[in-house]
Structure 1
Amino acid sequence: MALTDEAIAKIRQMIQSGELPPGARLPPEPQLAVQIGLSRSGVREAVKALESARVLDVRRGDGTYVTSLAPRLLLEGVGLAVELLRDDTLLEVMEVRRLLEPAATGLAAVRLTDAHLDELAQILEDMRTAAEDAEKLIQYDTAFHRTVIAATGNETLTSLLDGLSGRTVRARVWRGLIEGNAAHVTLGEHQAIYRALRSRDQVLAQATALMHVNTSESWLRTILAEADGESD
């Protein structure tokens, strides 16, 4: 593992220095091993690890290339990790969302276009129509927040929040809201976020988003507490 870690560090340094920019093809494995002064096996394992991290793209029969290094690729693992987190750690994810999502929504208020507003209005209508269908609500809820965050134009922020707002978390919250006859509350909060965005009011957009995340976090805590009680 030490040799693999060293090979990873040296390849990363070549990328960071610009010697291997996005889209560049890596030297063949034997040449790269000589170039960085490590064994071919160490290089091979390093390439596998960097491929898993979406830093490298191994094309069979063609070669190995540096990816675009776009945030959506490099941060893809965040979403996969969130889906695997244990219940107690999901609350930590909600805390991070509480820090980031309201600020992002406020930023969206001053950057979004009329096309974004039209899209959000349609999603809200779809949500109202599907008020008793948890699966559809999860789908529309995801689309609503993804549209809002994408309106910031910040791909890193969009990718990070997309990963933190995983389907597992949304599913548990929405099913709890429906079973608790409180889905109308969060539907109203989505409407409030939309109105704040439409008025281009950054402070109000941030406040309404914070209230919404707090509601989701509160319901998640309730659901997890009930699950703990059933397991005792």
Structure 2
Amino acid sequence: MAVTDEAIEKIKAMIVSGALRPGDRLPRESELAAELGLSRNSLREAVRALALMRVLDVRQGDGTYVTGLDPQLLLEALAFVVDFHRDDTVADFLAVRRLLEPAATALAAARIDTATIEALGDRLDALGPHPSVEELIAADEEFHRAVVRAGGNAVLCSLLDGLAGPASRALAGYALTEDAVSRMLHEHRAILTALRDRDAEAARSWATVHIAGVEQWLRSAD
């Protein structure tokens, strides 16, 4: 194991064990290096890496702190990494979304509030039957984000946010195919009806159909 990797693992172990908690200030560099049996250089490299991963927050002139370790914060790096995907892996990202998002949509059926349902319905009405591709993609992202957030699982929400990039790029091509726009709008309304009816299984099924359509088109187009 590289020295920097070893340093990262040792700091991680302190956080996982509870020796360092969210919001705690790390000991002084010299003290922490001695405690962990590390050189100060390797400790600095580890701190830099963990700061990039949003595990640590380096405050100039104040010290280094453990962040709140919120899922949304920690998983921001996922979206950054996902944006480097190759064209031949987009379908795989969509397959992961197909596994996760229907579950999130089913959760939302029990938890989404009436105001959110009405707002999503109004947004669909305002979109009309013939939106541009840009309008459709923006509305699709807004729709799915609102539904997933309504499910109340912050980790699931952050994971799906991280997969949004490849999904949007695939959608840009799919939306140009015959009847794709009307099909997508119909599926959005079906998901919304299931949510309004508090029907978790119908919500799960329509979300699966909706996402699988784009995935299947992409695989057949390769």
Give distance in 1, aligned partners of 2:82 and 2:51: 20
Partner of 1:73: 73
What secondary structure does 2:211 align onto?
helix
Partner of 1:229: none
Q: Structure 1 residue 85 and structure 2 residue 85: aligned?
A: yes
Deviation readout 1:88-128 (Å, 9 max, x if unpaired) = 21111111111111111111101111122122113322433
Deviation readout 1:143-178 (Å, 9 max, x if unpaired) = 100110101111001001111122x43133234313
Moved over 6 A (4+): none
Give distance in 2, aligned partners of 1:126 and 1:222: 32
What secondary structure does 2:139 align onto?
helix
Amino acid at match of 1:55: V
- TM-score relative to the length of structure 1: 0.90
Answer whether contact 2:4 2:42 (CA < 8 A) is retained.
yes
List gaps (5 residues or longer) in structure 1.
Answer: 226-232
What secondary structure does 1:13 align onto?
helix
Partner of 2:152: 153
Give distance in 2, aligned partners of 1:35 and 1:214: 52
**Paired residues, number:** 222
Answer whether contact 2:14 2:20 (CA < 8 A) is retained.
yes
Identical aligned residues as a percent: 50
The RMSD of aligned alpha carbons is 1.6
One of 177, 180, 184 as aligned partner of 2:182: 184
Deviation readout 1:199-228 (Å, 9 max, x if unpaired) = 1101111111111011111232345x2xxx
**TM-fit CA distance, 1:140:** 1.4
Answer whether contact 2:106 2:203 (CA < 8 A) is retained.
yes
Which stretch shows the higher mean deviation, 74-83 or 151-160? 74-83
Partner of 1:97: 97
Partner of 1:210: 208
Answer whether contact 2:194 2:202 (CA < 8 A) is retained.
yes
List gaps (5 residues or longer) in structure 2.
Answer: none
Amino acid at match of 2:136: L
Give distance in 1, aligned partners of 2:136 and 2:34: 55
Amino acid at match of 1:184: S
Answer whether contact 1:110 1:200 (CA < 8 A) is retained.
yes
Which stretch shows the higher mean deviation, 77-86 or 150-159? 77-86
Give distance in 2, aligned partners of 1:153 and 1:201: 17
Partner of 1:5: 5
Amino acid at match of 2:53: A
Aligned pair in 2 of structure 1 residues 220, 127: CA closer, same or farther (>3 Å)? farther
